[in-house]
Structure 1
């Protein structure tokens, strides 16, 4: 499904939350699709089931998934509304960070380069502009 960086400073559950959100937003995981059980995913990723449970709880709090007792966790089909609110929040935060970066002397070209690198296709391929 995906890999986690066990050497990263970012906690494993946060990495898991980010990866699952990415899969949901990019519609790799479809609305109402069942997520792997906590036990199954813990075995696949060889991490503690409590870590998976914490990530699922966070995703549920953020509205990306919902749980049904005895059945499991599923992708929330109402993501469009959540995404619009989230996009608004992220854009406001991004604006503040960009203004701060400009104030600190980071050139706009450097920020654009960083964005392009982050948006480059996986596997090391970069598009030439």
Structure 2
């Protein structure tokens, strides 16, 4: 039996996002950053649930959503693996999702009263972490 590595995920009880979403977002971020590469195995549902001290059904739901979105690939009898990333959304859908994400982001930070240049610089800096690893 293949031993699967532990994922370095943290569940925050005070987070407004459901735990399923926190798991999905964390795994998506690990894949986008290059910390998880195509073909890398993920922990079993039970293993990740035990690691995070949560219900296995919560992990199963997050894994199912990630699989449906093309981030993960299930191999019969072998488990879940990071899928090769390819663009599955139309340009219109990508633009719609970007607009929605930007709208949520602006709503979250507008009350912090930072100049737009500082906000843009911080976002660019955070995104650069992902760009460097993908091209490296």
TM-score, normalised via structure 1 length: 0.70
**CA RMSD for the aligned pairs?**
3.1
| Higher relative contact order, structure no. (Cα contacts within 8 Å, ≥ 6 residues apart) | 2
Counterpart residue number, 1:44: 51
- 1:15 shift after superposition: 0.4
Match of 1:90 among 63, 87, 97: 97
CA shift at 1:66, angstroms? 0.9
CA contact (8 A) 2:30 2:36 kept: yes
Q: Does 1:17 align with 2:19?
A: no
Match of residue 4 from structure 2: none
Residue 81 in structure 1 maps to residue 81 in structure 2: no
- Which of 40, 43, 68 in structure 1 is aligned with 2:75? 68
Report the equivalent of 1:126.
none
2-side partners of 1:118 and 1:69: how far apart?
A: 39
Output the TM-score relative to the length of structure 2: 0.67
| Cα distance change, pair 75–83 in 1 and its aligned pair in 2 (3 A) | farther
Q: How far is the alpha carbon of 1:81 from its aligned partner?
A: 2.4
Structure 1: where are the runs of 5+ without partners?
122-129
Gaps of 5+ in 2: 1-7, 127-136
**Which of 46, 55, 74 lines up with 2:62 in the alignment?**
55
Change (3 A) 1:27 1:58: same
2:42 aligns with 35
Inter-partner Cα distance in structure 2 for 1:4 and 1:111: 30
